[in-house]
Structure 1
Amino acid sequence: MKKITVLLALLLSLLYFRTFTWLINAWLTDPYYSHGFLIPIISGFIAWMTIHKRKEESEFKPEPFKHGIFIFAFGLLLYAIGFIKLFPFVSAISFLFTLSGLILYFYGKPTMRSFLFPVSFLIFAIPLPLLVLEKVAYVLQTVSARHSASIIELLGIPVTRTGAEIHLQDASFIVGLPCSGMNSLLSLLALATVFIYILRCPRYKKAVLLSATIPIAISANVLRVTSLLLLANAYGADTAIGFFHTLFSPLLFIIAFILLILVSIIIGCKVTAGGGGG
């Protein structure tokens, strides 16, 4: 069985070589997916922990499920469509199906159930089509600009806004797509998914927590933009777009994750070493 596993891994690597090359290039060049390298590492670690745990419990016994071949075939069909149409996103998605189909076919349903999370988690490494990313980022860009300007106005500071452009008395800013919070949202969703996986609580609470990730990420970005506007109003635009512009991104990401942890505590979720609770 080990020889078959190694052989299949080699064959998949050859089949998906072009897709993997596209993914690596995207992780290197797309600012929205700079976290992409971490996803397969985390997924692989969780898979390894799962195998180790099942071996300790003497549960790692292959129970082949022949119908897994249909999922594998569906994955190959998706791959062919992506390959022919030069649509790498579809080819990358197909990998999740071909891998799942092979696990089912050779190892069975219980093993696939255990590997469902690490396999599904790989979706966070696959860049969404540019058109989708730009549309979502545009919405986030507008939301961040509108709410930040509203907060500044509530604080009694003169401000006008035109779309994503915000004008103070002595400075003007454009909340560009890189400042939309899209990067933080994608990274936080991936981190939140792992965090939720290791929590011990009912599935509906996990769903609530995952849903809360989106407004938390958006709120954190609004706070970031607002803070920069306050700095610009007090100390000038150069101060706001310099050191603090760089500092606030990771700082607000950390704050957003802390807020997520607080929400998990409030709804009664606890961390479990085994993961996958609920």
Structure 2
Amino acid sequence: MTEINWLKQLQEPKYWLLAIGVGLIALHLTLTSRTNDTDLFGTMLLFWGVVAFLIWERHESLTFESGVFASFFGASLIALILLKSSSIYGYDFFIRATPFLSGISLAMLASGTKGLKQYWQELLILAYTAIPPGLIGVLVDVAKLTAKFSAFILHYLGFEVVRQGVFLILEKGSVQVYHGCSGVNAILQLLGLALVFLLMFPTTKGQKIIVPIAAVLIAFSVNAARVSLMAVLVSLSQPEAFKYWHEGNGSAIFSMIAVFIFGIFCWFAILKNEPENKKKQSC
């Protein structure tokens, strides 16, 4: 009898959806790992974890009711993901879009078009991953701002530094702040964490404005400090150390520092006042 019940449970659509979801996540993380971008992989892993947690928290209250069109659309999206994934061997923008497409396909299979609003939080998080880093560079010249702030840091640390556009010129060397070193990736990473934080914890309207601003300022400042360090290493003729902090694990260390500082900010500025936030929201 127990074995029969177990087999019946396995035949329920939600278990098939779970299996498909796990497969899509595993496929996406595998593709992401091939890019050798530790920041991107860490961000995607975190966002998938948050989405899975949010779904699990509400899985008993979700409505599972899909139609023929929604099921066909969802299955077609999954087929597209599998087809495109078979031809990806390095970085491809499709890797950033895959989480959102996977989320839409699973939501359509599970609850149809009418039930999509149940997953607005999860879909918003997954849609955020599709934002290309180059988009910020089109709107704001982040590289130039980073060069200016890095020059400011070096000047007040006592270094003789001259800035010419995105070039930082010291006594025995110079560095150029490319778009990839401007901190755009770090800013997007912390903004993503800010979005996750605001969706998971109760906050006031003012805090909803302050948290993203703090994320941008922290990411920008920490990256400018990293650029300043690399400029000093070039001036000191330390190519191995420069390579470590530019391309190696040193880059990931600065990302961890930014996340740590942001976590401290959220703890002392928001979470310690969580009872007050709930009271303000209920008024």
**TM bin (shorter chain):** 0.5 to 0.7
- Is 1:241 aligned with 2:242? yes
- Is 1:123 aligned with 2:123? no
SS at 1:99's partner residue? helix
- 1:200-252 per-residue CA deviation (whole Å, 9 max, x = no partner) reads 4325413421232112111111122123334555x444375155555653443
Distance between the aligned counterparts of 1:91 and 1:257, measured in 2?
24
**Pick from 4, 29, 33: which aligns with 2:13?**
4
Aligned in 2, Cα 1:248/1:4: closer, same or farther, shift over 3 Å?
A: closer
Aligned in 2, Cα 1:266/1:22: closer, same or farther, shift over 3 Å?
A: closer
Distance between the aligned counterparts of 1:128 and 1:30, measured in 2?
19
Deviation at 1:172, TM superposition (A): 1.7
- Indicate conservation of the 8 Å contact 1:137/1:177, yes or no: no
Aligned in 2, Cα 1:45/1:271: closer, same or farther, shift over 3 Å?
A: farther
- Indicate conservation of the 8 Å contact 2:187/2:216, yes or no: yes
Query: Aligned partner of 1:238: which letter?
Result: P
- 1:155-176 per-residue CA deviation (whole Å, 9 max, x = no partner) reads 4533223333222111122223
SS at 1:29's partner residue? coil
Query: Aligned partner of 2:155: which letter?
Result: E
Q: Which residue does the alignment assign to 2:135?
A: 132
In structure 2, the gaps of 5 or more residues are: 1-8, 88-92
Q: Which residue does the alignment assign to 1:33?
A: 40
Deviation at 1:44, TM superposition (A): 1.7
% identical equivalent positions: 22
- Is 1:43 aligned with 2:51? yes
- Is 1:186 aligned with 2:188? yes
SS at 2:159's partner residue? coil
- 1:40-69 per-residue CA deviation (whole Å, 9 max, x = no partner) reads 234223422443xxxxxxxx3565678x99
**Pick from 198, 211, 214: which aligns with 1:212?**
214
Query: Aligned partner of 2:262: which letter?
Result: L
SS at 2:168's partner residue? strand
Q: Which residue does the alignment assign to 2:173?
A: 171
Distance between the aligned counterparts of 1:30 and 1:251, measured in 2?
16
- Indicate conservation of the 8 Å contact 1:149/1:226, yes or no: yes
- 1:45-99 per-residue CA deviation (whole Å, 9 max, x = no partner) reads 3422443xxxxxxxx3565678x99988887898899999x98466754443343
- Indicate conservation of the 8 Å contact 1:142/1:163, yes or no: yes
Q: TM-score, normalised by structure 1?
A: 0.65
Distance between the aligned counterparts of 2:201 and 2:68, measured in 1?
33
Deviation at 1:260, TM superposition (A): 2.3
- Indicate conservation of the 8 Å contact 2:150/2:225, yes or no: yes
Tell me the matched-pair count. 257
**Pick from 148, 151, 160: which aligns with 2:150?**
148
> What's the C-alpha RMSD, in Å, of the aligned pairs?
4.7
Distance between the aligned counterparts of 2:261 and 2:162, measured in 1?
30
Aligned in 2, Cα 1:157/1:137: closer, same or farther, shift over 3 Å?
A: farther
Query: Aligned partner of 1:33: which letter?
Result: L
- Moved >6 Å (runs of 4+): 10-14, 68-84
Aligned in 2, Cα 1:237/1:159: closer, same or farther, shift over 3 Å?
A: farther
